[in-house]
Amino acid sequence: MRAYDVILKKRNGGELTSEEIGFMVNGYVEDRIPDYQMSALAMAIYFQGLNERETTDLTRFMVESGDQVDLSGIQGFKADKHSTGGVGDKTTLVLAPLVAAAGVKVAKMSGRGLGHTGGTLDKLQSIPGFSVEFTPQEFVDIVNRVGVAVVGQTGNLVPADKKLYALRDVTATVDSLPLIASSVMSKKIAAGADAILLDVKVGSGAFMKRLEDAVALARLMVNIGSRLGRNTRAVITNMDQPLGRSVGNALEVREAIETLQGRGPEDLTELCLILGGHMLHQAGRCKVPEEGKKYLEKLLDRGDGLAKLKEMIAAQKGLPEVVHNLELLPQAPCQEEFRSPAEGVVEKINAEAVGLAAMILGAGRETKESSIDLSAGIVLHKKVGDAVAKDEVLAVLHSSERWRIEAAREKLREAYIISNQEVKPQPLIYEVIS
Ligand code: URA
């Protein structure tokens, strides 16, 4: 077989066989196929697409390119959850302990990631002492003992994705549905859980800006998961404005703790309960997801989710008292208000612009090497639909360096649209796909 012929076949719209896909993935990981041929194939896929069978084969060969996490040492049902990413998305910090409090094991490997704020691992590391580095055996032991752990990747997971993603990033081939779906699902399948819940975000702060694209991506990922024997479900959720009120690592941990204390923002609380209801349903713990949601509401009210988070923090060497004393989290020395230029109603908050403002404040990474200011970020005092008076506080900006606040203020001016129109409430959930 020759790489040239596989590229030509896809360029001309042909359907690739399993052997051809395996030949390309394995050859690329083993350095027999050079970057220029793999990028030509990625571009051919970008234009010609892959059908579901081809995408599933691509995912499978990517999974098999490296280690797979063995969770067989964990007793009980293992659930995993993945978000396609959004601004202020701290659902894992609330959801993982809450679902674990209901008796479903949550063994989660998370990323740091580039972007407006750090990934879940960065957020968790704003808890003093918190560690995300554990051996596979320690990971299994913590999940068995506590019911939940959120750690960094161990082993050589999906090397094909690491190499291919870096190549796509510089060859304008990231935004291809089959390439995104196989990239996400290969990592989830390799992570070893029995069930996967995908939170596919759509809107101004999400990867997918249009509902029909989010639905198509979700369908494809669910079908790949099912074809590869995993109980997979997707919930399409709103990311047209930031989720909750806080954007930034320590600020998001603070908000997650407040949510588990029962005093979190309504949208974040509701979303976590809905997603959690689906996870309990996937685990066979309830007849319908709504029943699972009701049960989780009870656990939340009783403080069981907070207690579970405290146990998880202690097991991962962090300071457990943080769940009762939020002052133990990093605090930014510079905090300045951002006030409304006019009277009216908040019509829109462009989530992407808020994310960029948070990044300017120091909350995110521009390159893999950049360091993060864990205390930096934004707390939104007004959200879509809220009435505001002229000069009322819309948000508070947090940073370690004052010059960053001025730069971020400019971005935030772009983000907030104040008008006199009536604003319709936005849906939190668009669709569930299973
Ligand atoms: N996230 C991923 O993990 N992979 C993609 O291709 C895009 C977003």
Q: Cα(57)–Cα(22) distance, rounded to whole angstroms?
A: 8
Average pLDDT of the residues of the chain? 95
- ipTM reported for the complex surpasses 0.85: yes
What's the pLDDT at 40?
98
pLDDT in tens, 337-371: 999 999 999 999 999 999 999 999 999 887 777 78
Q: Cα(45)–Cα(25) distance, rounded to whole angstroms?
A: 14
pTM: 0.94
Q: What SS3 state is found at 382?
A: coil
What's the pLDDT at 115?
66
Q: Cα(259)–Cα(299) distance, rounded to whole angstroms?
A: 12
Q: Do 3-49 and 78-323 show the same overall fold?
A: no
Q: May I ask the CATH architecture of the domain 3-49?
A: Up-down Bundle (1.20)
CATH no., domain 331-419: 3.90.1170.30
* pLDDT confidence bin for 324, thresholds 50/70/90: very high
Average pLDDT over residues 182-207: 95
Q: Which of 50, 62, 165, 198 to mutate to test the pocket of ligand 1 (most atoms within 8 A of CB)?
A: 165
For a pLDDT cut of 70, what percent of the chain falls above it? 98
Host H or E run for residue 393: strand 393-399
Residue 132 has pLDDT above 70, yes or no: yes
Taking the centre of ligand 1 as the mean of its atom positions, its distance from the CA of residue 42, in whole angstroms, is 14
Which residues, listed in sequence order, are joined to residue 336 by a DSSP beta bridge? Answer: 397
Which amino acid is residue 223, in one-letter code?
Answer: N
Q: May I ask the CATH architecture of the domain 78-323?
A: 3-Layer(aba) Sandwich (3.40)
Q: Cα(200)–Cα(143) distance, rounded to whole angstroms?
A: 26
Q: Please say if 82 is a catalytic residue.
A: yes
Ligand 1 atom index nearest CA of 207: 8
Token pair belonging to 195: 């069930």
* pLDDT confidence bin for 218, thresholds 50/70/90: very high
> Residue of the nearest CA to atom 8 in ligand 1?
180
Host H or E run for residue 198: strand 195-202
Q: Please say if 187 is a catalytic residue.
A: yes
End-to-end CA distance of the chain: 37
What's the pLDDT at 385?
95
What's the pLDDT at 369?
74
Kindly list the domain boundaries of the chain, sorted by start residue.
3-49, 78-323, 331-419
Q: Please say if 409 is a catalytic residue.
A: no
Pick from 64, 423, 81: which is nearest to 272 by CA?
A: 81
Taking the centre of ligand 1 as the mean of its atom positions, its distance from the CA of residue 92, in whole angstroms, is 18
> Residue of the nearest CA to atom 1 in ligand 1?
184
